[in-house]
Amino acid sequence: MHPDTTGSWTPVALSADLPAGTVIPARIPAGSIALWRSESGRPAASANRCPHRGMSLSHGFVRGEALSCIYHGWSYAQAGNCLRIPAHPGLTPPQAIRVKTYPVEETGGVIWVAMGEPSANPPKFEGFVALRSLMAEAGIAAIEAAAGAKASPAGLVEPAESTGTICLLLSAQEDRQTLLHVLLKGEAGTAARIAASRAAESLRRKAEDLQKKGIAQ
């Protein structure tokens, strides 16, 4: 991604896929994260590991404005500090007990997570509506080849066949996987949304085939 415009922001999920009071796993270049939204609607991101016993926090649960680990119920604030250790209800957890957190922003229905302190806001794609996300077993080069178009500095690909109706926002994952967020131009009706969804799936299959052939050669 272009350092001037995007800093180190990663598009990790769509806003619609993270309702209030839930937590999901996601990935940024620094590793696995727990992405969650408090009951009042504020999104947050932390390292996906409880420092008590190493349990994955994305298996945890959200209550109020805190994320709790499913193993022993230790709960963490959006700032990462431990709020409560249920085994010792009278204890105020020491400040040293905390999880690493990352800045989160939402724009245009996309949730962005940054590493470090970003110098700019995440990119905005004016006139687009977020439709859905897909995971592809293919690298970015294979997706660009399948789309017949290069990704922009912000990670946006406009497939040649789509004639400007859809865009794909790419985020590289582990093991040559890529997360694709499908963005639709303008407010589209149900039929157009279904068509765009199928077009994205078709493009994913094409990219995965290219990826397999590439490895075979």
Q: Which stretch binds another protein (CB under 8 A): 67-75, 130-138, 165-173, 177-185?
A: 67-75
- Which residues from 128-167 bind another protein, rule CB under 8 A? none
H/E run at residue 9 = strand 9-14
Q: Which stretch binds another protein (CB under 8 A): 14-22, 63-71, 118-126, 203-211?
A: 63-71
Supply the minimum distance, in Å, between the C-beta of residue 17 and another protein.
Answer: 21
The answer to whether residue 97 forms part of the interface with another protein (CB under 8 A) is yes
Torsion of CA 15, 126, 172, 139, to 10 degrees: 130
The answer to whether residue 80 forms part of the interface with another protein (CB under 8 A) is no
Max intra-chain CA distance, the chain: 63
The answer to whether residue 53 forms part of the interface with another protein (CB under 8 A) is yes
Supply the minimum distance, in Å, between the C-beta of residue 36 and another protein.
Answer: 16
Pick the binder of another protein from 51, 103, 109, 214 (CB under 8 A): 51
Strand partners, 14: 110
Distance, in Å, from the CA atom of 112 to the CA atom of 28, rounded to the nearest integer, reads 10
- State the number of CA atoms in the 13 A half-sphere of 17 facing the CB: 17
C-alpha of 71 from chain center: 24
The answer to whether residue 24 forms part of the interface with another protein (CB under 8 A) is no
Pick the binder of another protein from 37, 49, 181, 204 (CB under 8 A): 49
Supply the minimum distance, in Å, between the C-beta of residue 23 and another protein.
Answer: 13
The answer to whether residue 92 forms part of the interface with another protein (CB under 8 A) is no
The answer to whether residue 95 forms part of the interface with another protein (CB under 8 A) is no
Supply the minimum distance, in Å, between the C-beta of residue 90 and another protein.
Answer: 8
Distance, in Å, from the CA atom of 166 to the CA atom of 194, rounded to the nearest integer, reads 12
Q: With CB under 8 A as the rule, give the number of residues binding another protein.
A: 21
The 9-14 sheet, strands edge to edge: 9-14, 110-114, 104-107
Q: Can you give the length of the chain in residues?
A: 217
Distance, in Å, from the CA atom of 164 to the CA atom of 99, rounded to the nearest integer, reads 42
Q: Do residues 104 and 88 make contact, with C-beta atoms less than 8 angstroms apart?
A: no
Q: Which stretch binds another protein (CB under 8 A): 14-22, 36-44, 88-96, 205-213?
A: 88-96
- Contacting positions for another protein (CB under 8 A): 49, 51-56, 59, 69-73, 85-89, 91, 96-97
